[in-house]
Structure 1
Amino acid sequence: MTTQAMVPSFNDSQLPDVYDAVESEVRSYCRGWPVEMAGASASWLTDTSGRRYLDFFAGAGALNYGHNNPLLKRPLLDYLSRDMIVHSLDLATEAKTAFLETFQRLILAPRGMDYKVQFPGPTGTNAVEAALKLARKVTGRESVINFTNAFHGMTLGSLSVTGNSMKRAGAGIPLVHATPMPYDNYFDGVTADFHWFERVLDDSGGGLNHPAAVIVETVQGEGGLNVARAEWLRALAELCNRREILLIVDDVQMGCGRTGRFFSFEEAGIKPDIVTLSKSISGYGLPLALTLFRRDLDVWAPGEHNGTFRGNNPAFVTATAALEAYWQDTTFADQTLAKGGLMRDRLNAIATSNPKISARGRGMAQGLKFDDAPTAAKVCRAAFERGVLMETSGPADEVVKLLPPLTTPDAEIVLGIDILAEAVASTSS
């Protein structure tokens, strides 16, 4: 097929005037994709003019099972049609009971994870805030260690452990009680960056207070698809255990199967003290977040941390359906790993032909890094004009990041990356 003909070139925004007139200038994604979307199914979106777009963005990782997945939509519509409870704070409901029992049976128990589940609020940053707050309450310490290029959310606590200077500046106040350390391979293999952390802990002149926790992403999605090696993660977990520092893994974007197994840290064979989940845990793009933690860390007093929308029952329904449909065994994870291999092979083929491009990522979170950072945005724009949605990431927006739904067929993965190859070629000519 001729991919160039899928979507015409966009010179000006085709959005209704109300967006400029009424909505805040803070909006971002609609600037890169200046069309009004109308419908979505599986791996495709359709705008109001009828043009279709292959989705390699998946709601920033919130749609691992695609748009309007019928396996999740049917139980949701049935639930709503029966006038079942929608908003419930933390009341016990049938939908919540089913989710907790299914999550325990299919996710926690098979992995030997004796975690308690907290519903902190509807988004990933809520889960991170609860994790930080709990770590400080348990240990009685204030300091938290984070890593270079990390992203953990946009509220103040989450921003304090985020690396991006532009996002941090939006806080408007000093972001304190967090100390950044070099992420794996931050120095391009020149030194064992991880060990500087332990040295400072041992040095009475190092100026580092004994931390309450370390928070880490196994793959830094917003940070540029930086992948931590399994051995680095194991060493970090061992250090935290020796020093009585709680280990928090932020699995908001990379969990729920994005890298293959349900949790992104499973490959490393570690069991964090605290885990944060959101984005695709509802399965359907509905707001839901979890903070998981070791049973002995459950020191909360009733109502000490709460939120109005922590009981999103439609999200419990779709989350339960997603677990039942995709996580009964390892089939879905194996398929995701195979698709990730397909993505990597085709991205490597693009990178091999251009010495200023390199492939990076893990599972179905992969992309291309451009030595000339502004090229990445140009490539995303060219891909959009050809009918594929993808975004940039990294400290200089130098990485084209691909997050297709995990349910995307192989043929559509090939199509999307072929269009990406065309977009790369068009910006180089």
Structure 2
Amino acid sequence: MTDRPTGPLSGLLVADFSRILAGPYASMLLADLGAEVVKVESPAGDDTRSWMPPLREGVSTYYLGVNRNKRSVALDLKDPGDLALAQELAGRADIMMENFRPGGLTRYGLDYDTVAAANPKVVYASISGFGTTERGRVLPGYDIIVQAMSGLMSLTGGPDTGPFRSGISVFDVMAGLHATIGILAALHSRDEDGRGQHVEVNLLATAMSGMVNQTSAYAAGGVVPVRMGNSHPSLFPYEPLMCADGELVVTAGNNGQFRKLVEVLGVPELADDPRFSRNEDRTANRDLLRPLLVERLMTRPKMEWFREIIGAGVPCGPINDVGGGVAFAQEIGQEPVVEVGEGEAMVPSIRNPITFSETPVDYRLPPPGLDEHGDEIRAWLREPVVSTPLDHGESRDHAEGGDE
């Protein structure tokens, strides 16, 4: 392992003023791809440092999950000296990220207009809960609130249950991904015209887009979707079905897959039954078809059916817990867990899902302790010569106040 970034974003500096999940996840993805990320924390640290259990050697695994490949500096923006360092970092950055409440950085001179005036090349990414409109900007944006207000919770659960939140902070993760996409697009645009720009993402807009077919059902069809448990509104079978020893998720996304499925189950005549021959028929008559499929599946254990149904080219799979999911990824050769750091500082981490043929992802640094790199970052920011951080030893031009 090397401390020098080698990925496709090597040479870019990210000033990361974000915290909790959406922003740190995005900045970690950029760091995995080679960007140098300086994580700016308050003296109290990122909120997720205290979000536990679970924990590893006293450190929150939530925090560990989204903060590798970064360096941490603790700066109190209310302290004039620390604020000057924060402004200097923003002036040198290729990318600045923040998820303060809209307008919250203006009083510190760290808002987009002020930073861009001194650093016109900066790509400045803001993540908020409900956007920057007069009514949206005052609303605090936690993922569960957006899940509730967007309608997602109304879709999660069964017909006879109350609404549930998703098992992960799904819109925080999606917003982080959208922010990353926006940053990369803005960097490409900067390559064309030399100018940075402001990239804005909010969780509610992310939810509207991320619910895809469900929000489209309302926008394009006037249909308000409802909770259907594990069933799909537009496909059948596409859900867990009971076998002799438990459930197996079985899907048939088209007529060909359905024909293969019923052949494996020993009831090929169902493929030509006019009640089930087309997907729209199977979906309309799911309550008739489901017991016919379950009757056959109940004759054998789920893993026997899994091997046969998969062998026929029909998607299916058992329902694992998270440990089983990681183990399955390992079983099929994906090596989902990587070791970041060495010796006592080593932290197991989930592999970045992107692979490159020429500029591979690397895992240089374990998630930093609070202000772990504070001394070297402060010293670097006080240097009159702008160079890439930190100990890489290569000079590189960054936009600073008065230089453009």
Q: TM-score, normalised by structure 2?
A: 0.23
Q: Which has the larger radius of gyration?
A: 2
